[in-house]
Amino acid sequence: MEAALCAVDGVFLAGGNSYLLLWHARRSGFAELASPRVEAGELLYVGTSAGAMVAGPDLAPAANLDNRREAPELESSLALGLVPFTVLPHDQDPEAREIHDAIVDANPAVPFCRLADGRAVLVRGDTAEVVDSPVVA
């Protein structure tokens, strides 16, 4: 994993079950190796859906978005901690928005970033900005 990460400028983590993705990131060594490189500006991290969720501090506040039982070996819901907020993806969907409302209401002290498809949160240092994703012709 270390050799693979040293050979690239960026990584892309896709969607799926955020708990299962976090489990794979931990067991492969990715979580331990990638986080310091991202924080040092040596590695670009891009995540969509679950990949965006695991960039945050903890999956627990958004627990009802994914089935925790799909990753029974995962010892902790602590995520990568690359950003100080938890992404709630697919917020344009009315059903997802309703679930997100309940999550936000149940966790008033937790910072969330609600993202609709076609939007991204661009993080540079301590600054985070929600932007429209570029249209590719």
Active site residues: 49, 90
Rounded to whole angstroms, how far apart are CA atoms 114 and 128?
13
Is the distance from CB of 48 to CB of 77 less than 8 angstroms?
Answer: no
Is the distance from CB of 73 to CB of 90 less than 8 angstroms?
Answer: no
Q: Which residues, 6+ apart, have CB-to-CB distance to 47 below 8 Å?
A: 12, 13, 14, 53, 54, 55, 87
